[in-house]
Amino acid sequence: MKNFLVHNDEVKKEMLDSVGVSDIEDLFKQIPSIARAASLELENPLSEMETQKRVKSLAKKNNIEYTTFLGAGVYNKFIPACISQVASRFEFLTAYTPYQPEISQGTLQVMYEFQTMICRLTGMDVSNATVYDGATACAEAVLMAVRISKKDKVLVSENLNPEYIKVVKTYCWAGNIEVQMFDKLPENNSDFACVLIQNPDFYGEITTIPTVNTLLVVCTDISSLALIEPPKNADIVVGDIQTLGLPMSFGGPYAGFIACKEKYLRQIPGRLAGRTVDADGNSAYCLTIQTREQHIKREKATSNICSNQALMGLCATLYLTVMGEKGFKQASYLSAKMAHNLSTKLSQKGIRTLNKQFYNEFVIEVDDAEKFLSELKSNNIIGGLKLDEKRILIAATEMITEEDIERYLACI
């Protein structure tokens, strides 16, 4: 156990000599002094009771009384209180993802049920047990398509979430894969590994799923599939599960999903949970179709940087279970209803909606987007996302009320 003891002066000198410096400070000489703190200048320590009071006083400075119409990939959704209570139980909330079948039947069953729910919603045959987020799901799907087709070019829609595009390009750059962006899909696309589109797209527009001569990857808002026909003619369907019981939380943690047709099963990255029977004939759960670098040769792995978000998947599974089919559809219906109500009333005030058809998110055109949003913010309303000087992306969820819409209209 001596290796875990604090280093004494003799050991420190031996370590410094081995790297050719005489003092620990020499290790930091390359960092400019202007970038280094002379000292931490910490205040005197506080007791636990004093700390609680201090933190509460600081928290009161936050203005949380905003009504938000902000979307663009992250949405203010209703979350039943029981979800955080169950997800916070020690059996699930651990420092490491538990998946050994002999000790984690509960976690593995949740992963299995999550996969089943995603398949039902997307119309696909197989789903994994989540990846990091929607952006990495898109990128991993592109890599899947490249492995399947043995081609090194991909077509990506310009109407995909801009943040997702950046992640896709980063993955492809590292894999020497050429990314071609498109506004109008080229008729001849057979030379590409896949076509990646988003529906509803980043601007909220619901589009017709195209017929392509290669693999089709569709990124979707999973909540929209309560009302919109799932993209069953796609080869791979991806997205983020933030709208399934995950709070906005300043940007995460969220999780993504990847679902596909059964013939591509062995190319899907991440963990997959399967159901079997034990020696006594009872149902049992385990990880299956191991394509991860921890289980097979690293060069044959489907992804070396992909993991799952089991706890977030648990929250999504709980959300869908608690809401049920009726509740899930009702929440999506209310989101669409409020968005269309706001769009209609804005048009009555002379503000044009640029979308032809949309689910719960749309783009408006105004004279001055900055001024428009500033006026709303001064009245504790986050009015949407500024796209440019004249365009604003607005979203509504079931958390928006008719009174919120009237307040919005009264401020413009």
Residue ranges covered by each domain of the chain: 67-79+324-410, 81-318
Tokens 């309560």: give the residue. 226
Sequential DSSP letters for 81-116: HHHHHHHTSTTT--SS----TTT-HHHHHHHHHHHH
pTM score of the predicted model: 0.87
**pLDDT score recorded for residue 96:** 67
Which of the two residues, 98 and 168, has the higher pLDDT score?
Answer: 168
Mean pLDDT lowest for which of 61-75, 119-133, 261-275, 304-318? Answer: 304-318
Is 230's pLDDT higher than 60? Answer: yes
**3 pLDDT more than 70:** no
CA-to-CA dists, residue 265 to 10, 119, 149, 233, angstroms: 56, 13, 14, 16
Question: SS3 for 257?
Answer: strand
Query: How far does CA 307 lie from the centroid of its chain?
Result: 13
Residue 404: per-residue pLDDT: 98
With 80 as the cut, is the pLDDT of residue 103 above it? no
Residue-level pLDDT at 197: 98
Query: What is the DSSP-derived secondary structure letter of residue 397?
Result: -
| 321 — pLDDT class (breaks 50, 70, 90) | very high
User: Treating both helix axes as pointing N-terminal to C-terminal, what angle do 134-149 and 162-174 enclose, rounded to 10 degrees?
Assistant: 40
Which is more confident, 137 or 272? Answer: 137
Exposure string over 242-255, b if 16+ CB within 10 A, otherwise e: bbbbbbeeeeeebb
| Predicted pLDDT at 290 | 76
pLDDT at 400 over 70: yes
Q: Token digits for 326? A: 């009726």
Lowest mean pLDDT among 168-172, 303-307, 367-371, 373-377: 303-307
Q: 1 falls in which pLDDT band (50, 70, 90)?
A: very low
- pLDDT at position 327 is 97
- The tokens describing 318, both together, are 């709980």
pLDDT at 293 over 70: no
Per-residue pLDDT band at 112 (split at 50, 70, 90): very high
Write down the pLDDT at residue 140.
96
411 phi, psi to nearest 5 deg: -90, -5
Tokens 């999550």 found at? 114
Question: What mean pLDDT do residues 25-43 have?
Answer: 86
Higher pLDDT, 180 or 38: 180
Helix (H) or strand (E) holding 259: strand 256-260
- Please say if the pLDDT value at position 166 is more than 60: yes
pLDDT at 95: 64
- Give the 3-state secondary structure of residue 383: coil
Q: What is the pLDDT of residue 131?
A: 92
Tell me the pLDDT tens digit for each residue of 246-275: 999 989 999 999 999 999 999 999 888 999
Q: DSSP code of 20?
A: T
**Per-residue confidence band for 36, with pLDDT thresholds at 50, 70 and 90:** confident
Cα end-to-end distance, the chain, whole Å: 69
Q: Is the pLDDT of residue 292 over 60?
A: yes
pLDDT at 2: 52
Please count the other Cβ atoms lying within 10 Å of the Cβ belonging to residue 120: 15
Q: What is the mean pLDDT of residues 273-302?
A: 82
In CATH, the number for domain 81-318 is 3.40.640.10
In this structure, which CATH number among 3.90.1150.10, 3.50.50.60, 2.40.110.10, 3.40.190.10 belongs to the domain 67-79+324-410?
3.90.1150.10
Q: Are 252 and 323 in contact (CB under 8 A)?
A: no
Q: What is the pLDDT averaged over residues 352-362?
A: 97
Half-sphere exposure at residue 295, Cβ-oriented, CA atoms within 13 angstroms: 12
pLDDT reading at 306 higher than 50: yes
Question: What residues does 68 pair with on adjacent strands?
Answer: 382
The stretch 222-229 carries a mean pLDDT of: 97
% pLDDT > 70, the chain:
94
CA dist 13 and 8 (Å) reads 9
Give the model's pLDDT for residue 294: 63
Calculate the average pLDDT of the chain. 93
Lowest mean pLDDT among 10-14, 131-135, 140-144, 351-355: 10-14
